[in-house]
Amino acid sequence: MRVISGRLKGRPLKAVPNMKTRPTTDKVKESLFHQIGPYFDGGQALDLFAGSGNLGIEAISRGVDSVVFVDFQYPAIQTIKANVQSLNIEHQSEIYRNDALRAVKAAGKHGKQFDYVFLDPPYRKISFDKIVNQLINAEVLKDNALIICEHDPKDTLPHEIKSFEIIKEETYSSTIAVTIYRFNK
């Protein structure tokens, strides 16, 4: 794994040392960022189910000001910390070991708001509806925030969600699809 583009282009990233995460492939990551950027003029991002921190780190490399990384697995948190340290982006990163729903609630209590939310939950184990409702209820989304959800193509994500519109749906293989929503208050 590596950073695809931006100021950290070509820098290697460590993978989580277990089989419980699915790193986003370079092909999917490149396509995903071309759809939402490809470069940013600041902003804050939330990388839920962050795994190695691959997506959030790519966002920092492409110009996002800061990223909050959240994962429940201890090996994932250790990997994110190692990647962030090796790239010298600690000042742009907050890393938390927490359940995704509790992390979103905590972010709301601390007044955090995000321009970009990367969701790459374990396939078929987390309710997309619950996550979206928590994002809304915790008031952590800025107007026009993008929610980028990587999911199994067999999963049908809702087309109609209050305050959200789908701006892009793409299937990359029999195991990876991405749906991008825009939040409008």
Token representation of residue 111: 């007044």
Q: Could you tell me the CATH superfamily of domain 27-183? A: Vaccinia Virus protein VP39 (3.40.50.150)
pLDDT tens sequence for the chain (185 residues): 899 999 999 999 999 987 666 677 788 888 889 889 889 999 999 999 999 999 999 999 999 999 999 999 999 999 999 999 999 999 999 999 999 999 999 999 999 999 999 998 876 677 788 888 899 999 999 999 999 998 888 877 777 777 888 898 888 887 888 889 999 87
Side chain identity, residue 10: G
Closest CA to 135 of 44, 36, 48: 48
Q: Dihedral of CA 43/155/177/2: which sign?
A: positive
Sheet with 141-151: list strands edge to edge. 93-97, 66-71, 44-48, 114-119, 141-151, 177-183, 164-171
Would you state the pLDDT for residue 68?
A: 98
Would you state the pLDDT for residue 102?
A: 95
- pTM of the model as a whole: 0.93
